[in-house]
Amino acid sequence: MAAAKVASIVTTSQLPYKTAYEVTIGDALASDAAAIALIGANTFTATFGFSVSESDLATFLASTYSAEAVEAEILNAQQTNTSTFVARDGTGAVLGFVQLVRGLTDPCLQGDAASHAELRRLYVDTTAHGKGIGSRLIAAVENKAKAEGFKTLWLTVWEDNTSAQRLYQRQGYVKVGETDFATGNCIQTDLVLAKSL
């Protein structure tokens, strides 16, 4: 694994003084699965939980954000063409994660489908919001996709998640269409956003 660059991010959280916040971005390890699953489940529930039934939410979380499911994704990365990146604080604790998925496209995207890659599941622990971690994770995926020759990076974001939409817009992503996202029996509308690399 290549050495990750370390950057300091200065943030003003709820503390009355500024604190230096070290964050490194690197490849996820199987040993990160439990932390990734916890962040994924907590963030998904906080963002979307009110909009789906308890049973649909529980089923989705068990299949997507159990430690076993996340570990299997990390261990099978080569077969699924998926890279998972994590953000770590100075102690090595996982603060967030994101995935780069190759070999997928969406009908609303223009150009050669082989030149498209997906940015998937950008989640940052709610205690670390506002510290630039999401932007750093996006940059890691963009850099990797660009280095691998992809020309377009795309993602989906829930139509009611305006804070995530603002983040993606600040990063240069534009709406190119809409798609359905199913959480059990609940079908919601996601916006499809894309960026030329």
Q: Which helix (H) or strand (E) holds 177?
A: strand 174-183
Reduced to 3 states (helix: H, G, I; strand: E, B; else coil), residue 41 is: helix
Q: What pLDDT, on the 0 to 100 scale, is given for residue 48?
A: 80
pLDDT band at 152 (very low <50, low <70, confident <90, very high): very high
Per residue in 1-60, pLDDT (tens digit) is 333 333 333 333 333 333 446 899 999 999 999 999 999 999 888 878 777 888 888 888
Residue 191 CB partners (closer than 8 Å, separation 6+): 156, 157, 158, 159, 165, 175, 177, 178
Q: Please state which of the ranges 20-24, 105-109, 170-174 shows the lowest mean pLDDT.
A: 20-24
- One-letter amino acid at 46 equals A
Mean pLDDT of 58-71: 89
pLDDT, mean over the chain = 86
Contact 183/151 with Cβ under 8 angstroms? no
pTM here?
A: 0.84
The answer, yes or no, to whether residue 125 has pLDDT greater than 90, is: yes
